[in-house]
A = this chain, B = another copy of it.
Amino acid sequence: MTEPRPVYVLGVDSGGSGLRVALAAPDGGAPRPVPAGEPVRSAEPVRTGPRGIDAAHLLGQLLPMARALLERAGGGRITAVAVGAAGLATLGDDLRAELPSALGEVLGVRRVALAADAVTAYAGALGESPGAVVAAGTGLIALGTDLTAWRRADGWGHLLGDCGGGAWIGRAGLEAAMRAHDGRRGGSPPLLVRAERLFGPVAGLPGRLYPRADRPAVLASFAPEVAGCAAEDAVAGAILRDAARHIAEAAAAACPQDAACEVALTGGLFKLGEPLLVPLREELAAQLPRARQVPAAGDPLDGALRVAADIALDRLRLPQDACLLSVHSPHPEGA
């Protein structure tokens, strides 16, 4: 007789800066990665093709990372995988069609969860409590649940929304710089100085910005400059107060109605610090008095591990949804 091999679950966080992958034992609560330490990373963002997010490209990166993690853990098998992916709701067709059976065949995985990155952000931040999470970096989305259904607000990208996110704040700051350059009302001389320090003469900024594919990231790179002069510049201060109002509006729309619940903020945007957080606390208190602000317990990769453990142990409480969170069983139970 052979010793039974240890059983693990795999969490995957796929976003604009690449893949992060971690392994954990499917214990109760928030599973802790094994081996402890930094997750395995790939710096290559998964490609998006005509069928959406490219399942083969994700799999090609994921499999060697999963095998390396198993090896570092001293061997074992993976029973469940949860993938949190940016863009899953609208670009997830190829992933949903290909990834579960491929993971079943190659790794012998029995359960696969495909989740929007906002869902893994939620699971990482609040676990399985009802509430709302605002996930914000370059973009911004709020996702809430009463554990029956999801409520989503914003996350529509830098032209249709993402109001209050990094690209939104940076864009508003650059508009204020251009206004100062023109002598138009609403201009901010300090933001003009900072824009020229970062990007060169602003008259040349359109020629440098518009041809780029990563326009939202370029806009968002100016957000720390807006935060940096919010204390002394009224225009910059007003941009951050407007951003705080928009963020609270998204949280209020996503939060379960008529019930006490928790609200958590997660993502790089909140590193802007007090210039954003002070007005945001005020707006949340005014717009969402029923909600308690709590720190995020973990990040989206922690959330992916939690969802993976939950599906492995058949105790997922977060609501399933065709676009936001689907659970697949590549090998039928008992087969």
Contact = CB atoms under 8 A, between A and B. Distances in A.
A94 to B, nearest CB: 14
Interface residues of A, number: 38
- Number of this chain's copies in the assembly equals 2
A289 interface: no
Interface in A147-196: 151-154, 156-161, 163, 171, 174-175, 178-179, 182-186
A90 B206 contact: yes
Given A159-B209, A178-B160, A184 B90 contact: no
Interface in A178-227: 178-179, 182-186, 203-207, 209-210, 215, 219
A233 B158 CA distance: 25
A250 interface: yes
A253 interface: yes
Contacts of A174: 159-160
A252 interface: yes
A183 B253 contact: yes
A229 interface: no
Given A159-B171, A207-B91, A210-B159, A154 B178 contact: yes
Given A90-B204, A206-B156, A250 B182 contact: yes
A130 to B, nearest CB: 17
A287 B154 CA distance: 35
Given A159-B210, A184-B253, A185-B253, 9 more contacts: A90-B203, A153-B184, A156-B175, A157-B209, A159-B215, A160-B175, A161-B178, A163-B175, A185-B252
23 contacts: A90-B203, A90-B206, A151-B183, A153-B182, A154-B178, A154-B184, A156-B175, A156-B178, A156-B205, A156-B206, A157-B206, A158-B159, A159-B171, A159-B210, A159-B215, A161-B178, A161-B179, A179-B249, A182-B250, A183-B253, A184-B250, A184-B252, A186-B249
Closest 6 CB pairs of A and B: A153-B182, A184-B253, A183-B253, A90-B207, A185-B249, A157-B206
